[in-house]
Amino acid sequence: MRIRFGIALALAAAGLCLPAQADEVKLGDAVPGHPGLTYEALVRQAMPALEVSEGAGRAGAEVKLRTLGGEESSLEADFAFETIATQNVASDGKPVLLLLIPGEEDGFSALLAAYDMAGAPRLLDAVDGGMDRMLSFGDSVDLGAATGFTLTGSHFNAGESYVSTDIGFVHDGRLTPIASQLAYGVQVCSFAMAQTLAVTAQDDPPAPYRAVSVAVTQTVTPSGEDCGESEPAPPPAGSATYADVYHWDGAAGAYAAATNERAKLMGPE
């Protein structure tokens, strides 16, 4: 296909999603509300061999982790970083601080760590939160008894855009997934296609956590140009939304959806 340029995709928050309150800090910065404590001390709880030089950090030794989805992963000894993104959330009424530390070169590897801030800050859990380039916290999600978070990573090729989103929260001291979604966009001679993700939440009694709706609106716009036989016929024009609702399963200790409507979305070849 003859690709012209990329289509940017945005994470749309509505309903009970809240604007992200993420800040960027350095290792030597003080942790608010905890005199004498720096972010270096927090990071060292997750990276015991941490090496610091001129404000930049290096893992110093392999850090064995899992991904948010549960697969085995690790950060290499030469994992290097300079900046740290922070986000304050809650877990069963207790304050929790999230640190997101992408690798220096890209976001494919990243430390995502959760800390109990109710007393002396202590590490609760850490995972490899790496997804894609341009990794960052997205909007938070009001789950009722907790605050959900989103991680967004993206990259753009000639004519194609990829925005990956992971949604999770801290449950019983563990970073726990809710759902994930790739939003894809493409523009070729004959048509343009864009996908927009919206994450909302609604009360779901008697569950302690609200249900989470993950909806993707896919819009196809034909160009009207004669592109010859080198390209396939464009898909049907217009917009359609594909949504799945995730409910908390207390017995399983996990969120799950009974449908898979988002499987109908157009994806990369």
Domain holding 253, by residue range, is 1-18+138-269
Which of these three, 100, 133, 166, is where a domain ends? 133
Segments in the chain forming alpha helices (H) = 39-46
The single-letter code of the amino acid at 52 is: V
Whether residues 44 and 128 share a domain: the answer is yes
Q: What is the pLDDT of residues 27-55, one digit of tens each?
A: 999 999 999 999 999 999 999 999 999 99
Give the bridge partners for 193, in sequence order: 186, 220
Q: What integer pLDDT is reported at residue 2 of this predicted model?
A: 31
| Residue 255 burial class via C-beta count within 10 angstroms: exposed 0-12, middle 13-18, buried 19 and up | buried
Q: What is the pLDDT of residues 104-152, one digit of tens each?
A: 766 689 999 999 999 899 999 999 999 888 899 999 999 999 999 999 9
Whether residues 39 and 76 share a domain: the answer is yes
Chain centroid to Cα 10, Å, comes to 13
Which of these three, 82, 101, 133, is where a domain ends? 133
Whether residues 145 and 266 share a domain: the answer is yes
Residue 74 has pLDDT above 80, yes or no: yes
Whether residues 205 and 151 share a domain: the answer is yes
Whether residues 11 and 27 share a domain: the answer is no
Q: Given pLDDT bands bounded at 50, 70 and 90, which one contains residue 10? A: very low
Whether residues 10 and 28 share a domain: the answer is no
Helix, strand or coil for residue 101? strand
Instruction: Tally the domains of the chain.
Output: 2
Whether residues 206 and 152 share a domain: the answer is yes
The answer to whether 182 and 267 are in contact (CB under 8 A) is yes
Residue 8 has pLDDT above 50, yes or no: no
Whether residues 115 and 70 share a domain: the answer is yes
Which of these three, 112, 133, 154, is where a domain ends? 133
Residue listed under structure tokens 């070729």: 188
Q: What is the mean pLDDT of residues 55-64?
A: 96
Chain centroid to Cα 209, Å, comes to 19
Please list, in sequence order, all residues whose beta carbon lies within 8 angstroms of the beta carbon of residue 269, skipping any fewer than 6 positions away. none
Which tokens in the block code for residue 231? 């390209």
Q: What integer pLDDT is reported at residue 51 of this predicted model?
A: 97
